[in-house]
Every structure is written in structure tokens, then in C-alpha cells.
Amino acid sequence: MRSLPLEAEHERLGARFAEVAGWRLPLDYGDAAREQRAVRSTAGIVDWSAHGKVRVSGPEALPFLDNLLTNDLEPLRDGRGAYAALLEHHGHVVGDLAVYRVGDDFLLETDAEAAEPVLASLQKLLVADDATIADETSESALLGLFGPTSGEILRKVAGTTPPGNPYDHGTARVADAGVRIARSPYFGGDGFEVWVPYGPGAPSVWRELVRAGAVPFGHDAAEALRIEAGRPKPRVDMDEHVLALEARLEPAISMTKGCYLGQEVVARIVHQGHVNRILVGFEVEGERLPPPGALVAVGGASIGKVTSAARSEALGKIVALGYVQRAHAAPGTAVTVADRPARVAALPFVRG
């Protein structure tokens, strides 16, 4: 089990830890419900250093990635970025990622759960291209700053206006450390990522952001916020058995670019048919979380399953993500989840 570089900071704040995707991560700092509310009302900070970070460089880095990833990378210039996915040949999801162009290089970031499959797939697919793939997961701390006052906090501590468009990024200094700040729509509202090289600067940047008003939040609050935003997570809500369009990854897919890995399957679905099951939200009665894999039924007949669930403090109820047959995907459809009354809900549950 790997430890975060800021583990001492989390211990000092009273974090409760558990293993997640091979990492020892803070689950909460004593009150996950309060942490959720802080992100939606002011600002919260989360340590995402466990996220996979890959640098692709070399003369053919752009064509190599553009031939693999679902979004169009050709228009990207230094300081710009995009949301994309890596699929396998049959259109199933290996992982979704943020892609940042830095000079002639590309930084790829994905959730910790998808880090190894994404890296392994890229390395396997690099055959004759003049490009280099480097795993930089252990070279940078990654701090997520989210909430309506997150931009104000960054202006205060960095003395600069943070990027305005999703996935745009630039350099700045916080607590005398050089950082890269990227705009992130991960939870559906205002948000940023702060990349800090490992070393003494990382704890200083964390402490500076906390002093400026960011409330630390852990994995449990992050999962609830992610589900509220209707965002599927690799290896949790989507994997090698889930098609990109079943997971509603259209924002990560260019419908006009040339070939990419899995494109033939995506194009066939778009132009000739539709998927038979699709990701939806559920509002579930009661206070007990349905476990992953819990059956979703209509009239006693199974129509799908739950993939992740949490209590939403913003809505005051249990919310979940999962897949159902397309015929039962309309918002408002009455279903049972683990034999409890529920209904299909429109995604996202909460808009920023």
C-alpha cells in the first residue's frame, strides 16, 4: 500500500484512513457530511496525489495520442487541455482522462483506479512512434480545490487570475513553490487542480490553501460529490465490459475527428443504432447505501444494477449510479434498488 506525500498533514488534521486502489487515503477528517457541504457552499481541498499522471513526449507524441484517444487533440496548444477517454478495440472503457498540453509534451491524468490499466495500454500500443511515455505519478502532488470560492482563494494565494475554461492551465507560485493550476469541472461546478512537485513545497502549498479557507475533504465526500455530478469512475462504474456510450462519455468524444482506438464501434452505435443499457442516476428511499452490484428491478424483473452510491448532503437522500435497460432509463421511472423503492433520476443530480 502506497502512502501520500502529504500523509503527515492528513494525520495532523485527524484523518481516518483506508486502502483505496492500493493507496492509503484519507476517508474523512471527522465529518464527511460537513466536508460535502463545504465544497458546495464555499471551498474544499482534496489530496489527489494518488491519481495517475503520465507524460508523453517526443516528436510524435501528438499523433501517437491523437490516434488513440477519443477527443481531438490537434487544436490543443500549450496551456490548453481536453477531456478524453482511452478505449480498447471493441469500444469498452480503459479509462477517462484529463489531457494537458505543456509545450510539445502532454500530461495525462486519470483516477487512481485507472492509472495502471491506462499506463499499461499506452505502453503496449507504443510500437513505432517516436514518443516516450513516463509515469510521473510519484513526481507531483496533486491538490484538488473545488467550490464556489475556489477561484477567489487561488487569486488570493497565487496573486493571479486562475484559468477560465475547462482544462486550461498555467504556472504560478503559491507559498514560494512553483505550481501548475488547471481548471477542472470534475464535480460539475467551479474547481481547479494544483500540481506541485514532490518535496517541501507540497505541504506548504496545502497549508497555504487551508489557511486561505479551503476545507479538507476526503475520499468519502469526494465519492458523494462525484455521484451528485453524475460522473462515472473507472473500475467502479465503467471498465472493459462497459461501452463508452453506455457510460455517457459523449463529452469526451469527438464525433468529427479521424480514427482512434474503438472509433468503429462508437460510430456504428451513433449512426446505426443505440446501446441497450445506459448509465442513469437513482434516488433511493431509506438511509442504507445499496452495495455495488445491487439489483435494480421493475415488477420483480431485473433490469440493471447499481455501481456506486452515497448519501448526498445537498439533496438529503441516498443517490446512486448504475445501468438499466434503455426502455427503463427515463427520469421518474419507478424501480426498486435492493428491494427498496427508488426512482430513476436525471443526471447530474446537482449542478455545481
What is the extent of the structural domain holding 214? Answer: 2-50+138-227
Q: Are residues 205 and 309 in the same domain?
A: no
Domain holding 311: CATH number?
Answer: 2.40.30.110
Q: Are residues 245 and 221 in the same domain?
A: no
Residue 87 has a pLDDT of 97
In a domain, 350, yes or no: no
SS3 51: coil
Residue 44 has a pLDDT of 98
Q: Are residues 327 and 243 in the same domain?
A: yes
Last residue of a domain, one of 171, 202, 227: 227
CA–CA distance, 337 with 275 (Å, rounded to integer): 22
Q: Are residues 298 and 339 in the same domain?
A: yes
Last residue of a domain, one of 227, 253, 268: 227
pLDDT at position 223 over 80: yes
Listed in sequence order, the residues at least 6 apart from 201 whose beta carbon sits closer than 8 Å to its beta carbon are 175, 176, 177, 178
Q: Could you report the per-residue pLDDT of 282-319, keeping only the tens digit for each?
A: 999 999 999 999 999 999 999 999 999 999 999 999 99
pTM of the model: 0.96
Listed in sequence order, the residues at least 6 apart from 137 whose beta carbon sits closer than 8 Å to its beta carbon are 50, 51, 52, 53, 54, 115
Rounded to 10 degrees, the C-alpha dihedral 321/330/278/113 comes to -20
Last residue of a domain, one of 227, 257, 287: 227
Residue 200 has a pLDDT of 87
Residue 324 has a pLDDT of 98
- Count: domains in the chain: 2
Residue 199 has a pLDDT of 86
pLDDT at position 352 over 80: no
How much of the chain exceeds pLDDT 90, in percent? 96
Q: Are residues 155 and 259 in the same domain?
A: no
In a domain, 252, yes or no: yes
What value does the mean pLDDT take over residues 173-183? 97
Query: End-to-end alpha-carbon separation of the chain, Å?
Result: 33
Residue 128 has a pLDDT of 86
pLDDT band at 53 (very low <50, low <70, confident <90, very high): very high
Q: Could you report the per-residue pLDDT of 252-290, keeping only the tens digit for each?
A: 999 999 899 999 999 999 998 889 999 999 999 999 999
pLDDT band at 77 (very low <50, low <70, confident <90, very high): very high
